[in-house]
């Protein structure tokens, strides 16, 4: 496996993880806004 291939794979994997994190944060923020009476974690 060449360095370029490795870098591409790592970048793709990191991108997927970041996107997943963003979705989680976005969903959490919406959940908090919808449930202001619920104590925030």
Taking only the tens place, the pLDDT of each residue in 1-41 is 688 888 898 888 899 999 999 999 999 998 888 877 655 55
Number of domains observed in the structure of the chain? 1
- Give the pLDDT score at 17: 93
- Give the pLDDT score at 10: 87
- pTM score: 0.54
- Give the pLDDT score at 24: 94
Tokens matching residue 10: 């790592």
Work out the angle at residue 13's Cα, subtended by the Cα atoms of residues 10 and 15, and round it to the nearest 5 degrees.
105
- Give the pLDDT score at 16: 92
38: containing domain: 1-41
Task: Tell me how long the chain is.
Answer: 41
- Give the pLDDT score at 26: 93
């Amino acid at each position: 496996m060449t360095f370029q291939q490795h870098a591409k794979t790592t970048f793709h994997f990191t991108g997927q993880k970041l996107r997943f994190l963003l979705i989680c944060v976005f969903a959490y923020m919406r959940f908090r806004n919808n449930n202001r009476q619920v104590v925030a974690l």
